[in-house]
Amino acid sequence: MTKKVLSFDIDQTLNIAKTPITDDIAELLIRCSDYYEICPISGQKFDQFLIQIVNPMLDNGVKPAQLTHLHLFVAQGTQYYIYENKSDKYDEKNWKQVYNYPLTDEQVKKISETIEKSARELGYWEEDKLQPGDEIIENRLSQVTFSALGQKAGTEEKYAWDPDCKKREKIVARCKELAPEFDYEIGGTTSINAITPGMNKEFGMTHLLEELKVTKDEILYFGDMTQPGGNDYPVVQMGIDTITVRNHEDTGYALRGILGVSE
Ligand SMILES: [Mg+2]
């Protein structure tokens, strides 16, 4: 089956967690946008999609017309943004939110309290390591995200915190006891995303199918956390063709291969 959509997890798939994509990946995505719809989907906020993906593509010469083939599935696809090409000049205001499914205030409160309690009990509440103004628990509207060392911590420090996911697995296990009505997924290097059941990448991909009017067979997905319990696993479970990568370099190799047969 010919693929029409290339869909990507972001952290550790398109970039080094929390940093902008490299010029190499930006250039590959631009070239791919001439042949495919490009759909990044991740737990990040909209602003981070601009910083990590859109701005580096602009730096590498993406044209507004090409951006109409970039579809941003924000907060695991519970929010969807498209670029409306109104002139030859890029304008950040032309990003339009197509839909949004936020959590309620009570849900946000319950999840935040549950994660904090679990992390404190286990000795993984690292408040003293936070940089000024940073926070461990962040309300991302459609999900609540725990970042053990905050958003501003250095990459190396983050890698070293929980390389085998064991700390986060323990936090998740305790959260499930305290508030089983939510789902908890491990992602990035220090993160846990809490969502209402079904508001995971399956939700996002289901909406992607609907919005882009494509079938599962027409999508190729790239992710680094495709193992059971990982935040890319719901996509695998849906039966969508998936390429598991270790990092953005693996993704780069795969995209070169795809372009080699597309151009
Ligand atoms: Mg990832």
Distance of CA 164 to the CA centre of its chain: 20
CA–CA gap between residue 46 and residue 252 (Å, rounded): 23
Q: Rounding to the nearest 10 degrees, give the CA dihedral for residues 219, 259, 12, 131.
A: -110
Please indicate, yes or no, whether residues 222 and 249 belong to a single structural domain of this protein.
yes
Let me know whether 14 and 95 are in one domain.
yes
> What pLDDT was estimated at residue 81?
98
Ligand 1 centre to CA of 178 (Å) is: 26
> What residues does the ion ligand 1 have nearby, CB within 5 Å?
9, 11-12, 224-225
Query: What's the gap in Å between 232 CA and the centre of ligand 1?
Result: 7
Q: What are phi and psi of 207, to 5 degrees?
A: -70, -35
Task: Read off the pLDDT of each residue in 191-211 and give the average, rounded to a whole number.
Answer: 92
Query: Above pLDDT 90, what percent of the chain?
Result: 85
Q: How far is the CA of 33 from the centre of ligand 1 (A)?
A: 21
Strand partners of residue 60: none
Tell me: do 55 and 134 sit in the same domain: no
| Lowest-pLDDT range of 14-18, 145-149, 223-227 | 14-18
Q: State the pTM of this model.
A: 0.78
- Are 141 and 81 contained in the same domain? no
Query: 147, 178, 195 — which closes off a domain?
Result: 195
For residues 236 and 123, state if they share a domain.
Answer: no
Report pLDDT digits (tens) over 216-228.
Answer: 999 999 999 999 9
Residue 188 has pLDDT above 90, yes or no: no
In angstroms, the CA 226 to CA 224 distance is 6
189 and 203 fall within a common domain: no
What is the rounded average pLDDT of the residues 156-160?
A: 94
pLDDT of 149 strictly over 70: yes
Residues 6+ apart with CB under 8 A from 48: 18
**pLDDT tens per residue, range 113-127:** 999 999 999 999 999
Q: Which of 172, 195, 218 is the last residue of a domain?
A: 195
Question: Would you place residue 261 in the very low, low, confident or very high pLDDT band (cuts 50, 70, 90)?
Answer: confident
Token match 């010029």: residue?
23
Q: Are 208 and 216 in contact (CB under 8 A)?
A: no
Q: How far is the CA of 11 from the centre of ligand 1 (A)?
A: 4
CATH of the domain at 89: 3.40.50.1000
What pLDDT was estimated at residue 75? 86
Among 195, 212, 242, the domain boundary falls at: 195
pLDDT, residue 88, reads 86
Judge if 96 and 129 occupy the same domain. no
Say whether pLDDT at 136 is over 90: yes
Within this chain, do residues 210 and 96 fall inside the same structural domain, yes or no?
yes
Ligand 1: centre distance to CA 88 (Å): 33
CA of 239 to the centre of ligand 1 (A): 19
Tell me: the pLDDT tens digits for 26-59?
Answer: 999 999 999 999 999 998 889 999 999 999 999 9
Say if residues 7 and 208 touch (Cβ distance below 8 Å).
Answer: yes
Query: What's the rounded mean pLDDT across residues 137-149?
Result: 90
Rounded mean pLDDT, 144-165:
94
Domain co-membership, 109 together with 189: yes
Whether 26 and 136 share a structural domain: no
What's the pLDDT band for 143 if we cut at 50, 70, 90? confident
pLDDT given for residue 108 in this prediction: 95
Q: Which CATH number belongs to the domain containing residue 157 in this structure? A: 3.30.1240.20
Total number of domains in the chain = 2
pLDDT at residue 8 tops 70: yes
Per-residue pLDDT at 1: 66
Question: Measured between alpha carbons, how far is 259 from 24 in angstroms, rounded to an integer?
Answer: 13
- What is the CA 184 to chain-centroid distance, rounded? 15
* Mean confidence (pLDDT) of the chain: 94
Alpha helices, DSSP H only, in the chain? Answer: 23-32, 46-49, 55-59, 64-67, 105-122, 155-161, 166-178, 201-212, 233-237, 248-262
Rg (CA), the chain: 18
Place of tokens 């996509």: 235
DSSP 77: G
Centroid of ligand 1 to alpha carbon of 89 (angstroms):
32
Is residue 162 domain-shared with residue 33, that is, in the same domain? no
Above 90 in pLDDT, residue 187? no
172, 237: one domain: no
Q: What is the average pLDDT across 95-117?
A: 95
- Going from the Cα of 186 to the center of ligand 1, the distance in angstroms, rounded, reads 9
pLDDT confidence of residue 229: 86
- Expressed in angstroms and rounded, the spacing between residue 77 Cα and the centre of ligand 1 is 14
* Domain encompassing residue 204: 5-100+199-262
- Ligand 1 geometric centre to CA of 86 (Å): 33
Residue 218's Cβ-side half-sphere holds a number of Cα atoms within 13 Å equal to 15
